[in-house]
Chain A
Amino acid sequence: MTRYLKYITAAFLAVMLGAGANAADPLKAAFVYVGPVSDHGWTYQHDQGRLAVEAAFGDAVETTFVENVAEGPDAERVIRQLAATGQDVIFTTSFGFMNPTVKVSERFPDVTFAHATGYKRTDNLTTYSSRFYEGRYVLGQIAARMSQSGIVGYVASFPIPEVVRGINAFMLGMQSVRPDAQIKVVWVSSWFDPGKEGDAAKAMIDQGADVITQHTDSPAPLRVAEERGVFAFGQASDMIAYAPNAQLTAIIDDWSGYYVSQVQAVIDGTWESQDIWGGFNTGMVAMAPFTNMPDDVAAEAQATVDKISSGELHPFQGPLFNQAGEEVVAEGEVLDDGALAGMSWYVKGIEDTLPSSN
């Protein structure tokens, strides 16, 4: 019985005192996921980052997570519950958690918040995201080299800037080595629907695409590529197990370094709210091993990775033209982060109309 009294007291204390960790207590870090940890994609990679935090700090940090949190009112309650029960750092890992995170961060000024892929910050809420487009530029280059037909199929989720940016970067990567390359975009209106994603991949292969890439989360398009004998790229994590003969490489979201550094900064008292947008140079974006391709293609891809990493090459450097052929970025300039963040136009050469771009 004493045990239950203890729980009740603890709960009351948590409410009364808010979050204020005792110095002797381990730092508590919580992660809020939009999908299941077992998705082997987006959420899985964030959880890998959480495990890296556990490994790096041992007993000094205690982590917890909540998976399958719906974007909307549920998210606010979960985040707040975490804040109210003594979590010191809370990572919310989906765009839809933005407004709930902002609201809770204002109410719990002593708790540190970090929100992935959003654009709203407060004194105790930082934002972070990856420059996945750097990886997509490399994928585009590889695709152009590996494609016989010069047609690549792109399984896309929703026309938000993140996805549009990825399509553009991929196209620019292709055009850098093969100016006449074509891209076919199919919108499946879902982040995760294995059946639909696979069907979309099949449809594009039937239309002549011989390399498939995706901005949806399931490995279904890779599986289709494996069976149809065409190439494909993994999404979010190394998916080679699903397609040993088809995967050329994968963009890997590696959050470990970021999570460890944030937790360290909180421990050191040096944490501050800022917008981190990490690319190859921070290790936040990494490439899976280059497989199923000739050595020269792999070498070229690696060279591109290095050039982007060192800043020698920017995927969105001028001259850049939009679909209508108008120059958007002049020679010698690069598209700034603000323009990248809100990107809702296609570069020249993409034969697709952005849905509902009204």
Chain B
Amino acid sequence: MRIELEARGQPSVLMTWLSPVIAILLTLLFGVLMFVLMGQDPINALYIYFVQPLTSAYQIQELIVIATPLILIGIGLSICFLSNNWNIGAEGQFVMGGVAGSWVALTFHGVDGWWILPLMMVAGIIGGLLWALIPAFFKARYNTNEILTSLMLTYVALQFLDYLARGPFRDPDGFNFPESKIFSPSATMPLLSDGGRMHLGAIFAVVAAIVIAIMLWRTIKGFEVKISGEAPRAARFAGFNEKSMIYFSFLLSGSLAGLAGISEVAGPIGQVLPVISPGYGFTAIIVAFLGRLNPIGVIFAGLLLALTYIGGENAQIMLQIPDDATSVFQGILLFLILACDTLVRYKVKITGFSSRQTTGGEG
């Protein structure tokens, strides 16, 4: 059996909408299989994963708390990926945003002022932006592979944060434990509701999605983003500068990741810890793809991914399903989304065993 792909002249509109649905249905089917193998009632398990979190006001808020960083980062990455710039170091940019903003928070610890939080946000954005500038600069200057540089920089950032949390940022009254002081109220994100942890960052995420969506669909810059990715040569003929697009996409996604980072530290965490992200920067790559690199789609994708996290925790609490099962689940979901994505651009043909030699073609 061979699987062959035939490029569609135009991306299929039907498939654009249908493919995520197919992927999710297939994931559910896989879930049923997995839960049966684990000796669980599959319907009950799926209910706990995907429905039960939506039945509690608190968990819906938590859904938004997790989705907030995923969406903020995912939007920036969408612009990167659309323009063929492979920033996969968002995790590092998230961390550096958190570090830069925390530095402001700790410097002015105990000082009261409305300006502290905005200053932290600006610092966070700059932190993420500068960290993204490194791979962008070297890609623009020397054509250095940005996938590798941005990924490697992530590990450097993680170590840097660890160093700070155990050293300079450590709370002097905290018995040497690796955590900073808890941020003062004027350095903490305002909550959007009483009794939950949903914070201002959620508004940032929605605003960012709308602004970027308008930019993408209604402005020349948006056209430039899309054309740079789809037809780089045409973009060059149209007079678009490839280098400026590298900087634009990296700095935009770095800023958003940095903003997400400081929002997380000043929000749900409230202090500097040696680890501030359970891999949001990487999960956001899944979110960007699941959202079809569409800023509005990313909102839904972020919420769905957040749902699998919370559902996974609930499944552990209620059914004792190990959290490894949640990792498998997320991995399979991403596999299937990626595979179904292919349907948008290609017709998939399954042919028999004939090993017809592929010849010719101009690519």
Contact = CB atoms under 8 A, between A and B. Distances in A.
Q: Do A and B touch directly, given a CB cutoff of 8 Å in the complex? A: yes
Interface of A: 4, 7-8, 11-12, 14-15, 30, 64-68, 70-74, 76-78, 80-82, 84-85, 95-96, 99, 107, 119, 158-161, 164, 189, 341-342, 344, 356, 358
B176 A73 contact: no
Given A64-B318, A99-B179, A342-B175, 8 more contacts: A8-B55, A66-B316, A67-B323, A73-B264, A77-B310, A81-B59, A81-B314, A160-B175
Contacts, number: 94
Contacts of A15: 55-58
Contact of A11 (B55, B178, B273): B55
Contact of B313 (A7, A78, A96, A358): A78
Nearest to A78: B313
B271 interface: yes
A85 B55 CA distance: 12
Contacts of B30: none
A159 to B, nearest CB: 7
Interface in B264-286: 264, 268-271, 273, 275-276, 278
17 contacts: A7-B52, A67-B322, A71-B273, A73-B269, A76-B268, A77-B310, A78-B317, A81-B317, A95-B177, A158-B178, A160-B176, A160-B178, A161-B176, A344-B175, A344-B176, A356-B167, A358-B168
Given A7-B47, A73-B65, A342 B176 contact: yes
Interface string B310-333: 100110111010110000000000
B329 to A, nearest CB: 15
A72 B269 contact: yes
Contact of B58 (A8, A74, A80, A82): A80
Contacts of A158: 166, 178
B296 interface: no
Interface of B: 44, 47, 52, 55-59, 62, 65, 162, 166-168, 175-179, 182, 195, 197, 264, 268-271, 273, 275-276, 278, 309-310, 313-314, 316-318, 320, 322-323
A178 B323 CA distance: 48
Contacts of B270: 99
A203 B153 CA distance: 30
Contacts of A107: 195
A18 to B, nearest CB: 11
Which 10 pairs of residues, A with B, have the shortest CB-CB distance? A73-B268, A11-B55, A356-B167, A342-B175, A344-B176, A15-B56, A66-B316, A68-B323, A77-B62, A70-B278
A159 B313 contact: no
Contacts of A76: 197, 268
A82 B314 CA distance: 9
B169 to A, nearest CB: 11
A72 B276 contact: yes
Nearest to A66: B316
A84 B271 CA distance: 25
B275 A72 contact: yes
Contact of A84 (B58, B275, B323): B58
A66 B271 contact: no
